[in-house]
Amino acid sequence: MSMLDTTDLDQLEERVYHSIWEDGLIDIFVGLALFLIGLFWVSQDSAYGSFVAPILVPLWAVARKRISEPRMGVVILGPQRMLKEKKKLLGLFLFGVFTFTLGIGWYALEPSGGEAPSWVANSIAGLPAALLAVPAIIVAFAFGLGRFFVYALILLVSAIPVVVLDLRPGWAFIPSGVFCLVVGASLLARFLRKYPLAD
């Protein structure tokens, strides 16, 4: 009987939605992206970092098709959920545009190289990791993926030694990336055990 309540149907929809993220692939690819961007930045080849996301996003889609879908099956979410997802992605995109514009604006308005306040100048190396923690928190809230709060926290914590020891900003990305990779790999291992490939 309770199965028929609207609340229970909502819960059922939530359950279906969360099953999509059970495979840990999103964590693996986010971790890989953070690790590679960090590595390129540290090795002073940061330009290569800009290629990471355009390469990894299609690879993630392929991995889902090859690994998740044959095991867990395919579900196409309802129109209301799809609309919600589009709004969330738009929010993330707008955040990216806002951050990018802010960064460009800063340089454009400070042609002399910037007379930034001393606290900003001192902590600038930790800023990229801190900024990246924001979309991680948005993802955690919007997609109901609590583990992204932890990733955000690690990004923030990793920024501290970078600022204190005056390291290259990429160093803050590497521990977060490795942590995401480890979590993703353990989720994937559990997923593969739970959903063996059918004959």
- Residue 40 near residue 2 (C-beta atoms within 8 A): no
Restricted to residues 74-93, the positions that interact with other proteins (CB under 8 A) are 74-79, 82
The residue within the footprint of other proteins, chosen from 18, 43, 45, 70 (CB under 8 A), is: 70
- Closer Cβ to other proteins, 3 or 47, answer by number: 3
Per CB under 8 A, does 192 bind other proteins?
no
- Closer Cβ to other proteins, 79 or 117, answer by number: 79
The minimum distance between CB 183 and other proteins, in angstroms, equals 22
DSSP codes of every residue in 118-176: HHHHHHGGGHHHHHHHHHHHHHHHHH--THHHHHHHHHHHHHHHHHHTT--GGGGHHHH
The minimum distance between CB 101 and other proteins, in angstroms, equals 36
Restricted to residues 9-68, the positions that interact with other proteins (CB under 8 A) are 9-10, 12-13, 15-16, 19
The minimum distance between CB 76 and other proteins, in angstroms, equals 4
The minimum distance between CB 198 and other proteins, in angstroms, equals 7
Residue 75: burial class (beta carbons within 10 Å; 0-12, 13-18, 19+): exposed
- Residue 27 near residue 173 (C-beta atoms within 8 A): no
Single-letter residue type at 11? Q
- Residue 68 near residue 197 (C-beta atoms within 8 A): no
Supply the DSSP symbol for 20: T
The minimum distance between CB 78 and other proteins, in angstroms, equals 5
Tokens of 178: 């490795």
Which residues contact other proteins (rule: CB under 8 A)? 1, 3-4, 9-10, 12-13, 15-16, 19, 69-79, 82, 195, 198
